Amino acid sequence: MSDPIVPAPISPAPPPPAPARSNADQRWRFIRDVGVFELKLALNNLHNFFQIPLTLAVAAFDLVVRSKNGEGERFYKLVEMGRTIDDSIDIYSIVAHRERKLNDDYTVDAVLGKLEDVVIKEYEKGGTAASIKAAVDRAIDGMQTRTGEHASRMADVVKNAADKIHDSMSKMEGGQPAPPPPPGQP
C-alpha cells in the first residue's frame, strides 16, 4: 500500500509590504506639530488678550505719573515680561529648521521706520507734525506736574503688582522670587 498523498498546506499570501517607517513617522510628527502649533497659538492669543489692555493702561499711567527712572519705565518693564512669555511660548519653533532669510525691507519695523522718517522730516521743517508734537508735549507735561502725591501711592501699587507678576514668572521658570525691597524703598 502506498502512503496517501497529503496535499501541502496552503500558506496564506504574504502580507502587503508595510509603508515605509519614515512615512508613518512623518505623519505622526506632522500631527504632533499641528497640535503643538495650535496649542501655542491659543496660549499666545490668551497672552495677547491680557497684554494689550494691560500695556495700554500702564503706558497711560506712565504718561500721567512721572517715573524717577525715566519716561515709560513701567511700560518697558511690562514689555520685557511680555517678551519673556513670548520667548517661552516660541510659537514658531516647529519650523525653526526651515527658517529663511526675511527681507528686512518688509518687516513691520521697517515699514513703521519709513513712516516715522516722513513724520520726522515734516517735523524738522516746522510743519504740522511739529505743532502737534508741541501741543501733545505740553499736555503730557501738564498732567505729570498735577499728579503729585497720588502718583507716589499709585506708583507703589503698580510696583507691587509688577513684583508679584515677576515673582510668579520666576517661579514658572524655576527661579527664585526677587527679595522684597528694604522698607521705605519703592
C-alpha cell at 9: 498546506
* DSSP type of residue 173: T
C-alpha cell at 68: 524717577
Instruction: Report the candidate in 89, 87, 90, 67 with the shortest Cα–Cα distance to residue 162.
Output: 67
pTM: 0.55
Q: How far apart are CA 123 and CA 135, in angstroms?
A: 13
Report yes or no on 178 lying in a domain: no
Report yes or no on 47 lying in a domain: yes
Would you state the pLDDT for residue 102?
67
Give the pLDDT band of residue 178 (cuts 50, 70, 90). low
pLDDT digits 0-9 by tens, 19-78: 555 777 888 888 899 999 999 999 999 999 999 999 999 999 988 888 788 888 999 999
Report yes or no on 1 lying in a domain: no
Phi, psi of 50 (to 5 degrees): -90, -35
Measured between its terminal Cα atoms, the distance across the chain in Å is: 112
Number of domains in the chain: 1
Report yes or no on 144 lying in a domain: yes
For cell 527679595, name the residue.
179
Q: Is 40 exposed, middle or buried (0-12, 13-18, 19+ CB in 10 A)?
A: middle
Domain that holds residue 91: 29-172
**108 against 50, higher pLDDT:** 50
Residues 6 or more apart whose Cβ sits within 8 Å of residue 20: none
- Mean pLDDT over residues 108-127, rounded? 76
The single-letter code of the amino acid at 54 is: L
Report yes or no on 8 lying in a domain: no
Instruction: Report the candidate in 57, 41, 166, 130 with the shortest Cα–Cα distance to residue 92.
Output: 41
Report yes or no on 182 lying in a domain: no
Report yes or no on 91 lying in a domain: yes
